[in-house]
Structure 1
Amino acid sequence: MPASATPETLPAPALEHVCDLAVTIAPALEVGLTPAGMRRVIPITGGVVRGPRLNGQVLPGGADFQLIVDDGTQAHLDARYVIELLDGTRVFVHNTALRVASPENSRRLMRGEPVPAAEVYFRCQPRFEVSGEPWRWLGQSQFIGSGRRAPDGVFLSFYRLC
């Protein structure tokens, strides 16, 4: 086997903190139990974006489309919404996530009750679409994040992989 075919461990990517979001939501629209799992739609009503690279607001009109599986312990989240930055630029966000919690904590989350963040695995992969400079870098980078569900909203922290 040629040397070029030998696996090489590359340096781990660094993380650059981009922003934190406090997203407000309306009560869940329960679709019900489908063959794929429990379907819910969580309307996004607004929010705030603050951080070293992005600042603005979450506009109303988005939603988080949820699929709850494995006896309610796993939630596959698919949120789509728009952020308006301080300069008026609008950014489309498509954020997919995985949230895993114990059966008891999952039931508490579904009822809108508080659950300590340390007891829930909530990780996301936001993607951004925006036109023009100076925000082009949003579409030319990979991002990951962490989340926490609160009774009246969701808190997210986004990081750019460097």
Structure 2
Amino acid sequence: MTAVPGPPELTFLAKLSVNVGSPIDLGITPEGHRRIVPITGGTVSGPQLRGRVLPAGADYQILRSPELTELDARYAVELDGGAMLYVHNLALRFGAEEDIARLNRGEEVDPALIYFRCTPRFSTAAPEWQWLNHTITVGTGQRRPGSVEIDVYTVG
């Protein structure tokens, strides 16, 4: 009999606190209702990664329905010590129509009411951080007025 492998271990990597600007609403396109949310800065704090989110990038959103939003954020991080990381984070945010509408207006919503999961990918040329180039990470997110907080975990 073949042993069934256990689930992969998750190890906390860092909290990404990403500051965001006012959304640019592009309207309803053939793909769905599109918005672009500028990324204006932020911080990275954790046992392994520490640094700052650079004011370069955006979250390209598609509001698929009143309850479901697809997120595609792309931005840069400068770690303490100067190493640069590129972050490409794909996410789904789902909740009751009225709660998602409140989030989209920039209002505070209890994070327990929103399913917000993501798969950040990191890319870097820095030798000491090369392991991030081949490591899968997952995260849980919370949308706050003016920011997004993401707890990122490596998948072992």
| Cα distance in 2, alignment partners of residues 132 and 73 from structure 1 | 39
- For the pair 1:131 / 2:125, whether they are aligned, the reply is yes
User: Residue 9 of structure 1: CA displacement?
Assistant: 2.7
SS at match of 2:49: coil
Residues 1-162 of structure 1 aligned to structure 2 (within 5 Å): 9-70=4-65, 72-162=66-156
Q: In the alignment, residue 52 of structure 2 is paired with which amino acid?
A: Q
Identity level (%) = 42
Q: In the alignment, residue 81 of structure 1 is paired with which amino acid?
A: Y
User: Residue 13 of structure 1: CA displacement?
Assistant: 0.4
Aligned residues: 156
SS at match of 2:107: coil
SS at match of 1:137: helix
Query: Please, which runs of 5 or more residues in structure 1 have no aligned partner?
Result: none
SS at match of 1:67: strand
CA RMSD of aligned residues (A): 1.2
User: Residue 132 of structure 1: CA displacement?
Assistant: 3.3
| Cα distance in 2, alignment partners of residues 117 and 129 from structure 1 | 29
Name the TM-score, length of structure 2 as normaliser: 0.97
Q: In the alignment, residue 41 of structure 1 is paired with which amino acid?
A: I
Q: Any conservation in 1 of the 2:20–2:146 contact (CA below 8 Å)? A: yes
Name the TM-score, length of structure 1 as normaliser: 0.93
Query: Please, which runs of 5 or more residues in structure 2 have no aligned partner?
Result: none
